[in-house]
Amino acid sequence: MSFISEFKEFAMKGNVMDLAVGVIIGGAFGKIISSLVDDVLMPIIGTLVGNDFEKLSTTINGATVKYGMFIQNVVNFIIIAFVIFMMIKAMNKMKKAEEAAPPAGPSPTDALLMEIRDALKK
């Protein structure tokens, strides 16, 4: 098998494509959440606190420590982690519902065995 055909087979496997789609959607989702935190939540929280979070900083030995940006990134992470947790929880709930569904009827083998049993009773 040539290198190109082997690579093509690898790249077209379902898991690789699923991963690629997940990474792209995850990147876009991260931008949406970052915008929500940066442009909506933090200005509201900053107004309540009385200061803009981006400007919260302190200087230690000439080095500026921007702890406001750190707080903003922590809030961003918590929101993303919570949303992903809720998505996984919903997916697991749907999976359990599928597994808990009773079978539609007896399998062909069970039906055949029941017919044999009924014939032997006669």
Q: Quick: pLDDT tens for 24-83.
A: 888 888 888 888 888 888 888 888 877 777 778 899 999 889 888 888 888 888 888 888
Report the sign of the C-alpha dihedral through residues 65, 27, 95, 18, in that order: negative
Residue-number span of the structural domain to which 31 is assigned:
3-121
Helices and strands in the chain: count of H runs, count of E runs: 5, 2
Q: Quick: pLDDT tens for 18-28.
A: 778 888 888 88
At 42, which CATH number? 1.10.1200.120
Q: What is the pLDDT of residue 101?
A: 66
Q: What is the pLDDT of residue 102?
A: 65
Q: How many domains does the chain have?
A: 1
Q: Say whether pTM exceeds 0.75.
A: no
Closest by CA to 46, choosing from 56, 33, 57, is 56
